Amino acid sequence: MSESKPGTIYEDGRLEEYLDKGIDGTSSVGLTTQKGESLTGGDALMGEVYFADFDHVAHKNTMSVGDRLQEFVLEAKLADELGFDYYFTAEHHFSQDFSLSVSQALTCTILAQETKRIRFGPMTIILPIADPLRIAEEFTIIDHLSGGRLEMGVGRGVVFHELATYGRRNADGPAIFRENLEFLIKCWTNEKNFSWNGVYNQYFDIEMPWK
Protein backbone atom coordinates (compact mmCIF):
# COMPACT_ATOMS: atom_id res chain seq x y z
CA MET A 1 0.00 0.00 0.00
CA SER A 2 1.39 3.38 -0.97
CA GLU A 3 0.45 6.89 0.03
CA SER A 4 0.03 9.66 -2.53
CA LYS A 5 -0.19 13.40 -2.13
CA PRO A 6 -1.19 16.07 -4.65
CA GLY A 7 1.62 17.07 -7.00
CA THR A 8 2.50 13.67 -8.42
CA ILE A 9 3.38 13.59 -12.11
CA TYR A 10 1.99 10.39 -13.61
CA GLU A 11 3.62 8.14 -16.17
CA ASP A 12 2.34 9.85 -19.32
CA GLY A 13 2.60 13.36 -17.86
CA ARG A 14 -0.81 14.31 -19.22
CA LEU A 15 -2.11 15.94 -16.06
CA GLU A 16 0.82 18.33 -15.92
CA GLU A 17 0.39 18.95 -19.65
CA TYR A 18 -3.23 19.96 -19.12
CA LEU A 19 -2.36 22.24 -16.24
CA ASP A 20 0.60 23.79 -18.07
CA LYS A 21 -1.78 24.77 -20.86
CA GLY A 22 -3.89 26.67 -18.35
CA ILE A 23 -6.70 24.16 -18.01
CA ASP A 24 -7.28 24.75 -14.32
CA GLY A 25 -10.85 23.57 -14.13
CA THR A 26 -12.52 26.52 -15.82
CA SER A 27 -13.11 24.30 -18.83
CA SER A 28 -13.69 20.59 -19.30
CA VAL A 29 -10.89 18.07 -19.53
CA GLY A 30 -11.66 14.94 -21.50
CA LEU A 31 -10.29 11.64 -20.23
CA THR A 32 -10.87 9.17 -23.04
CA THR A 33 -10.97 5.40 -22.67
CA GLN A 34 -10.67 4.99 -26.43
CA LYS A 35 -7.35 3.86 -27.88
CA GLY A 36 -5.54 6.27 -30.16
CA GLU A 37 -3.96 9.69 -30.09
CA SER A 38 -5.36 12.40 -27.83
CA LEU A 39 -7.11 15.31 -29.51
CA THR A 40 -5.77 17.65 -26.83
CA GLY A 41 -2.25 16.40 -27.53
CA GLY A 42 -2.27 17.82 -31.05
CA ASP A 43 -1.46 14.51 -32.75
CA ALA A 44 -4.92 13.66 -34.11
CA LEU A 45 -5.21 12.67 -37.75
CA MET A 46 -6.45 15.45 -39.99
CA GLY A 47 -9.57 14.97 -42.07
CA GLU A 48 -11.56 12.78 -39.67
CA VAL A 49 -14.96 14.11 -38.68
CA TYR A 50 -17.04 12.84 -35.75
CA PHE A 51 -20.64 13.66 -34.95
CA ALA A 52 -21.88 14.11 -31.40
CA ASP A 53 -25.15 14.94 -29.67
CA PHE A 54 -24.88 17.18 -26.61
CA ASP A 55 -27.89 17.13 -24.27
CA HIS A 56 -28.53 19.29 -21.20
CA VAL A 57 -31.57 17.09 -20.52
CA ALA A 58 -33.37 20.36 -19.90
CA HIS A 59 -36.96 20.39 -18.68
CA LYS A 60 -39.66 21.46 -21.15
CA ASN A 61 -42.79 23.26 -20.02
CA THR A 62 -44.80 21.33 -22.60
CA MET A 63 -44.39 18.02 -20.77
CA SER A 64 -43.96 16.49 -17.34
CA VAL A 65 -40.57 15.72 -15.83
CA GLY A 66 -41.19 12.01 -16.30
CA ASP A 67 -42.12 12.46 -19.97
CA ARG A 68 -39.02 14.61 -20.56
CA LEU A 69 -36.79 11.92 -19.09
CA GLN A 70 -38.42 9.30 -21.30
CA GLU A 71 -37.85 11.62 -24.26
CA PHE A 72 -34.16 11.82 -23.32
CA VAL A 73 -33.95 8.02 -23.52
CA LEU A 74 -35.60 8.04 -26.95
CA GLU A 75 -33.25 10.78 -28.16
CA ALA A 76 -30.21 8.73 -27.11
CA LYS A 77 -31.55 5.62 -28.82
CA LEU A 78 -32.19 7.59 -32.01
CA ALA A 79 -28.66 9.06 -32.02
CA ASP A 80 -27.33 5.52 -31.61
CA GLU A 81 -29.44 4.20 -34.50
CA LEU A 82 -28.60 7.13 -36.79
CA GLY A 83 -24.86 6.49 -36.46
CA PHE A 84 -23.77 9.38 -34.25
CA ASP A 85 -20.32 8.79 -32.78
CA TYR A 86 -20.85 10.35 -29.34
CA TYR A 87 -23.61 11.36 -26.93
CA PHE A 88 -22.71 13.77 -24.13
CA THR A 89 -24.69 15.14 -21.18
CA ALA A 90 -24.03 17.95 -18.70
CA GLU A 91 -24.31 18.24 -14.92
CA HIS A 92 -26.23 21.14 -13.40
CA HIS A 93 -27.78 21.80 -9.99
CA PHE A 94 -30.42 24.25 -8.74
CA SER A 95 -30.62 25.85 -12.19
CA GLN A 96 -34.35 25.56 -12.85
CA ASP A 97 -34.96 23.90 -16.24
CA PHE A 98 -31.34 22.75 -16.49
CA SER A 99 -31.50 20.50 -13.44
CA LEU A 100 -32.74 17.12 -14.68
CA SER A 101 -29.27 15.61 -15.06
CA VAL A 102 -27.99 16.11 -11.52
CA SER A 103 -26.30 12.70 -11.34
CA GLN A 104 -24.03 11.89 -14.25
CA ALA A 105 -23.63 8.35 -12.93
CA LEU A 106 -27.40 7.83 -13.18
CA THR A 107 -27.63 9.48 -16.61
CA CYS A 108 -24.72 7.46 -17.97
CA THR A 109 -26.09 4.20 -16.57
CA ILE A 110 -29.24 4.86 -18.60
CA LEU A 111 -27.12 5.50 -21.71
CA ALA A 112 -25.08 2.34 -21.11
CA GLN A 113 -28.20 0.19 -20.99
CA GLU A 114 -30.34 1.90 -23.63
CA THR A 115 -27.74 2.22 -26.40
CA LYS A 116 -25.66 -0.40 -28.17
CA ARG A 117 -22.91 1.24 -30.21
CA ILE A 118 -22.49 4.96 -29.54
CA ARG A 119 -19.77 6.21 -27.20
CA PHE A 120 -21.12 8.41 -24.43
CA GLY A 121 -20.31 10.19 -21.21
CA PRO A 122 -20.58 13.35 -19.14
CA MET A 123 -19.35 16.46 -20.89
CA THR A 124 -18.61 17.72 -17.38
CA ILE A 125 -18.67 16.24 -13.90
CA ILE A 126 -18.31 19.17 -11.48
CA LEU A 127 -15.33 17.90 -9.48
CA PRO A 128 -15.29 20.52 -6.68
CA ILE A 129 -18.68 19.27 -5.40
CA ALA A 130 -18.08 15.57 -6.10
CA ASP A 131 -16.69 12.74 -4.00
CA PRO A 132 -13.89 11.69 -6.36
CA LEU A 133 -13.64 8.17 -4.96
CA ARG A 134 -17.32 7.51 -5.69
CA ILE A 135 -16.82 8.96 -9.18
CA ALA A 136 -13.89 6.60 -9.75
CA GLU A 137 -15.84 3.56 -8.54
CA GLU A 138 -19.15 4.30 -10.22
CA PHE A 139 -17.77 5.20 -13.63
CA THR A 140 -15.49 2.16 -13.64
CA ILE A 141 -18.61 0.00 -13.36
CA ILE A 142 -20.47 2.06 -15.99
CA ASP A 143 -17.58 1.57 -18.41
CA HIS A 144 -17.78 -2.20 -17.93
CA LEU A 145 -21.56 -2.14 -18.21
CA SER A 146 -21.32 -0.38 -21.58
CA GLY A 147 -18.63 -2.63 -23.00
CA GLY A 148 -15.96 0.07 -22.79
CA ARG A 149 -17.88 2.88 -24.52
CA LEU A 150 -17.51 5.48 -21.76
CA GLU A 151 -15.88 8.90 -22.29
CA MET A 152 -15.14 11.09 -19.28
CA GLY A 153 -15.27 14.86 -19.02
CA VAL A 154 -14.61 16.79 -15.83
CA GLY A 155 -14.55 20.48 -14.94
CA ARG A 156 -14.73 23.10 -12.19
CA GLY A 157 -18.20 24.30 -13.08
CA VAL A 158 -19.20 27.76 -14.26
CA VAL A 159 -22.27 28.57 -12.14
CA PHE A 160 -21.40 30.19 -8.80
CA HIS A 161 -24.45 29.04 -6.86
CA GLU A 162 -23.91 25.39 -7.79
CA LEU A 163 -20.71 25.39 -5.75
CA ALA A 164 -22.03 27.69 -3.02
CA THR A 165 -25.11 25.57 -2.32
CA TYR A 166 -22.83 22.59 -1.76
CA GLY A 167 -20.73 24.64 0.66
CA ARG A 168 -17.74 25.16 -1.65
CA ARG A 169 -16.15 28.58 -2.11
CA ASN A 170 -15.83 29.55 -5.76
CA ALA A 171 -12.24 30.68 -5.12
CA ASP A 172 -11.34 27.14 -4.00
CA GLY A 173 -12.75 25.57 -7.18
CA PRO A 174 -9.52 25.39 -9.23
CA ALA A 175 -7.49 23.87 -6.38
CA ILE A 176 -10.17 21.28 -5.58
CA PHE A 177 -10.47 20.48 -9.25
CA ARG A 178 -6.73 19.90 -9.63
CA GLU A 179 -6.55 17.65 -6.57
CA ASN A 180 -9.63 15.61 -7.49
CA LEU A 181 -8.55 15.18 -11.11
CA GLU A 182 -5.16 13.93 -10.02
CA PHE A 183 -6.86 11.54 -7.61
CA LEU A 184 -9.12 10.14 -10.36
CA ILE A 185 -6.15 9.47 -12.62
CA LYS A 186 -4.39 7.76 -9.72
CA CYS A 187 -7.42 5.52 -9.11
CA TRP A 188 -7.57 4.46 -12.74
CA THR A 189 -3.85 3.91 -13.30
CA ASN A 190 -2.42 2.65 -10.00
CA GLU A 191 -1.81 -1.10 -9.87
CA LYS A 192 -1.69 -1.44 -6.07
CA ASN A 193 -3.79 -0.36 -3.11
CA PHE A 194 -2.98 3.17 -2.01
CA SER A 195 -3.99 5.83 0.49
CA TRP A 196 -4.56 9.50 -0.29
CA ASN A 197 -3.74 12.39 2.03
CA GLY A 198 -5.02 15.41 0.13
CA VAL A 199 -5.97 18.88 1.25
CA TYR A 200 -9.66 18.37 0.50
CA ASN A 201 -10.08 14.57 0.69
CA GLN A 202 -8.40 11.77 2.60
CA TYR A 203 -8.86 8.05 1.88
CA PHE A 204 -7.28 4.92 3.33
CA ASP A 205 -6.29 1.69 1.58
CA ILE A 206 -8.12 2.17 -1.73
CA GLU A 207 -8.62 -0.92 -3.86
CA MET A 208 -9.74 -0.62 -7.49
CA PRO A 209 -9.86 -4.21 -8.76
CA TRP A 210 -12.10 -3.70 -11.82
CA LYS A 211 -10.58 -0.66 -13.55
**From CA 181, how far away is CA 86, in angstroms rounded?**
23
Alpha-carbon torsion, ordered 128, 130, 133, 139, to 10 deg = -120
pTM value?
0.77
Per-residue model confidence as pLDDT tens digits over 136-191:
999 999 999 999 999 999 988 877 788 888 788 888 889 999 999 999 999 999 98
- pLDDT over 80 at 48, yes or no: yes
- pLDDT over 90 at 203, yes or no: yes
**From CA 209, how far away is CA 125, in angstroms rounded?**
23
Predicted local confidence at residue 157, as pLDDT: 81
Report yes or no: 27 and 197 within 8 Å, Cβ to Cβ: no
**From CA 78, how far away is CA 91, in angstroms rounded?**
22
